[in-house]
Amino acid sequence: MERTEQELMAEACATMRMYLDKAHAGYGRRFDMPHINFNLRGRTAGKAFYSYNEIRLNLVLFRENFEDFKARTIPHELAHIITHILYPHAKAHGREWKSVMRKLGGPTTRCHSYDISNSAVSVRKCYTVRCDCRTYQFTSIRYKRMLNGTTYTCRKCRSAVRAI
């Protein structure tokens, strides 16, 4: 059965509330419900934005991996926001984040293994550039900036990066 975007949003909110209740029980304090949207594309399943109290989810990956997404991705992103509130200077997937994940009852792994073949992945054209010690791949944006006068310097050999 194909779920609509509204059904998925309702399910994501209900799942988020369940994990927020676990956080409340575990930490003895309330956390605000993050704003959830489905405007994330590509390979990434979810992304947390602390300053906006926002979680962006990949609709395609949520639809295709419904149960696992609710058990892994949603608590993973919520744990980032809670970790930032409790420990503002903690590492993204450090021990504080893992501690929050354990309180939420989620796995402490950091990467998903979802099939991304149906997710909208943008293909970027890359350009090969060179310094004195090696070659690099630049995106079209950086490459055009370089052609228009922006200077890039290799951190290793300190020579100018140039087009091939």
Q: Which residues are catalytic?
A: 77
Q: How far apart are CA 67 and CA 73, in angstroms?
A: 10
The maximal CA–CA distance of the chain, rounded, in angstroms, is: 59
Cβ partners under 8 Å of residue 11, min gap 6: 3, 66, 70
Other beta carbons less than 10 A from residue 73's beta carbon:
24
Q: How far apart are CA 89 and CA 60, in angstroms?
A: 32
Take residue 145 and report the two structure tokens written for it: 């900036």
Q: How far apart are CA 69 and CA 63, in angstroms?
A: 9
Write down the residue that tokens 């003895």 correspond to. Answer: 28
Take residue 161 and report the two structure tokens written for it: 């990066």
Q: How far apart are CA 56 and CA 86, in angstroms?
A: 21
